[in-house]
Amino acid sequence: MDKFLTKRPRSNESSVKDDNATTSSSPKRARVEFDPNNLVADPGLRMTIEKYDVNIKDEVRRFYVSKGPCQPRTHNFPKKKYGNQYRCFNPSWFDSFPWLEYSVEKDSTFCLWCYLFKPTTYGLQSGRDIFSKMGYNNWKHAISTFRDHEGNVTSIHNFAFDKLELFKNPRQSVTQMISQHSSDMEVAYRVRLTAVLDIVRFLLRQGLAFRGHDESSSSKNKGNFLELLYWYGARVDKIAKTLKENAPGNNQMTAPKIQKDLAHSCAEKVRSLIIEDIGDRIFSLMVDEARDVSVKEQMAIVLRYVDSRGQVIERFLCVEHVTDTSSHTLKKAIDNLFAKYGLPLSRLRGQGYDGASNMRGEFNGLKSLILKDNPCA
Ligand SMILES: [Zn+2]
């Protein structure tokens, strides 16, 4: 047993920490010196961690952590009679349970992790101290009891293991790593999102198509959006670090749906600026009708107003789909649109429609419906 007790922890880190611990202790109290020669290796004989002086508790823990669990594999384990059978401790259990310790003195098993880091507040509950204080030695049910002791991720045993990991490497504990990792990911996400938004704004401003005919990785021309994004990445190192293989597969920000979402967001922003610019001034409405390739009836809506500098401004607001081209449907679509953007019909002062279109009749109907609501329009 002496071979365990004469060894000191050898790493530089621990010796530095030992120095810190002794200098930080209060000068008024009688200093308790840590002496590894006083520590017992047999888990059945050692003192509980709570009984050590608060100033040397961590040094005691560090000593036991560096030594590892007490696993005397070559010991001649005594046999006990269970019914007609004799059973004894099986050293192969050490392989399955890395925390397992065996006390030669008491012929019992203990848990090193729970001995070192089990929170004392759980101590009063029944059965909680078996592996940290009393010792377990019913070899008939050993494996199932060991598994029960490990429990699920929220068990005291696993809590003690987390504390052990934190103790061994405070800067690389799982919690620390996850929080560090997620904050790095968030920064990368912001860089990626800003780059993608820049591309979206450029394409929208220039009225260029986003998508390509072939956007697969082997394609020579992946379309304006992807080509421009990768061109950007090839020139700006900071952006390249957040694209392609440097981004999570489900967070590339290049999916067609994302492109559409961002374009819609830009459109909403522009529309709200137009509405803001109109303010409470009067405006007039210009509507034209078109049919797209899928024979869907569409209504293009333009607002015309005088801005704060006295300039006449014409702004394209949106394209509205209409189910049919009857004047009532058109009026309903205009009403919905005005309600959506908070434009009152009472401030409408003019209407302009394509007089030559085959929808002249419907537009005339729409005009009179609007005039019914607001004679000034
Ligand atoms: Zn345990």
284 and 197 together in one domain? no
Compare 33 and 355 and report the one with higher pLDDT.
33
What's the pLDDT band for 12 if we cut at 50, 70, 90?
Answer: very low
Neighbours of ion ligand 1 (CB under 5 A): 111, 113-114, 157
145 and 168 together in one domain? yes
185 and 139 together in one domain? no
How far away, in angstroms, is 245 Cα from ligand 1 center? 41
pLDDT confidence of residue 287: 85
Residues 323-371: pLDDT tens digits?
Answer: 877 888 888 888 888 888 888 888 888 888 875 666 677 778 888 888 8
Compare 179 and 369 and report the one with higher pLDDT.
369
Domain boundary among 126, 147, 172: 172
Count CA within 13 A, CB hemisphere, residue 357: 16
Q: What are the helix and strand counts (H, E) for the chain?
A: 13, 8
How far away, in angstroms, is 68 Cα from ligand 1 center? 14
Mean pLDDT of the 213-240 span: 89
How far away, in angstroms, is 157 Cα from ligand 1 center? 4
How far away, in angstroms, is 87 Cα from ligand 1 center? 23
CA distance 166 to 169: 5
Helix (H, G, I), strand (E, B) or coil at 157: helix
How far away, in angstroms, is 145 Cα from ligand 1 center? 11
Spatial contact of 51 and 83, defined as CB atoms under 8 Å apart: no
66 and 129 together in one domain? yes
Residues in the chain: 377
Residues 92-151: pLDDT tens digits?
Answer: 999 999 999 999 989 999 999 999 998 876 544 445 688 888 899 999 999 999 999 988
CA distance 273 to 317: 11
33 and 180 together in one domain? no
How far away, in angstroms, is 131 Cα from ligand 1 center? 6
Helix (H, G, I), strand (E, B) or coil at 267: helix
pLDDT confidence of residue 144: 92
How far away, in angstroms, is 156 Cα from ligand 1 center? 7
Residue range(s) defining the domain that contains residue 146? 2-172
How far away, in angstroms, is 80 Cα from ligand 1 center? 24
Residues 260-285: pLDDT tens digits?
Answer: 889 889 988 988 898 888 888 889 98
Residue 268 lies in a domain: no
How far away, in angstroms, is 37 Cα from ligand 1 center? 26
